[in-house]
Amino acid sequence: MNEATNLPIAIVSAMHEELGALLAQMPDEQRITVGGRDFWVGHLQGQLIVAVLSRIGKVAAATTATVLLERFGARAIVFTGVAGGLAPDVRVGDVVVATRLLQHDLDASPIFPKYEVPLTGHARFAADTEISDALAAVAADVLSDPVTLLGEKVADDFALDAPRVHRGLLISGDRFVSTAAESEALRHALPDALAVEMEGAAVAQVCHDFGVPFAAVRTISDRADDAAHGDFTRFVSSVASRYSLALVSAWLAMLSQQ
């Protein structure tokens, strides 16, 4: 990662519930509003960061990423939040750290291959290996004791028994996948996809264009099926936001020690 430490690291989530716990830990946050978005600049674990809610969907996420790079000069972007599990062994409460990201609803064929972003030659955009390796390592540590992190009741309510870290393909699209038929269609089309969400691949594309490191770490909130709407809001506030704070804080602390 670029060592220009006078430039901030960007931490991005789509919804306030995903980022609220982290914002509460920034002692010197300064709000700067650009493009209708509040960017919070401050420090966490000794690192200069800018935190922002991208809003939901690929266009909103791409707009946010572009502002982070052009206006704030972010030296890296990390997207955190929730996703729906697709692979059979990716369960609620697990964490997925992306190695590559793809837009599952992009199809400019027959002019370009399905999923390929026109004029880039890429369908799958790589996440930064160094950042992703570090996030996976701290995630494994965080998930080793979910009861201490979340409390026994929350861990029991969501059956968070031995959550795991997965690494692989994360896919994004402009729809909330919430039926068994939709998730089965995605598994058939992209059998190596671990999870689905609505922003990551767009941010990965922007970071690729600018040559800036990007990583995505997602907590699995549901199985992207008919029960996906379930207790979604409570899961995000009670589990995913705490995961995000713990993961990002541990990673930033690791950077500060280097």
Residue 249 contacts residue 152 (beta carbons within 8 Å) = no
What is the C-alpha to C-alpha distance for residues 19 and 7, in angstroms, rounded to an integer? Answer: 21
- Taking each continuous run of H as one helix and of E as one strand, the counts in the chain are 9, 10
Catalytic pick among 17, 18, 182, 197 = 18
Active site residue 199: no
What is the C-alpha to C-alpha distance for residues 147 and 153, in angstroms, rounded to an integer? Answer: 8
CA distances from residue 221 to 40, 55, 124, 167, 241 in whole angstroms, order as listed: 26, 18, 24, 16, 11
DSSP structural state of residue 122: B
CA nearest neighbour of 13 among 45, 42, 66, 50:
50
What is the C-alpha to C-alpha distance for residues 187 and 218, in angstroms, rounded to an integer? Answer: 18
Active site residue 70: no
Catalytic pick among 17, 199, 222, 225 = 222
Residue 201 contacts residue 59 (beta carbons within 8 Å) = no
* Beta carbons within 8 Å of 149's beta carbon, 6+ residues apart: 142, 242, 243, 246
- Please give the backbone phi and psi of residue 44, each rounded to the nearest 5 degrees, phi first: -145, 125
Give me the active site residues, please.
18, 222
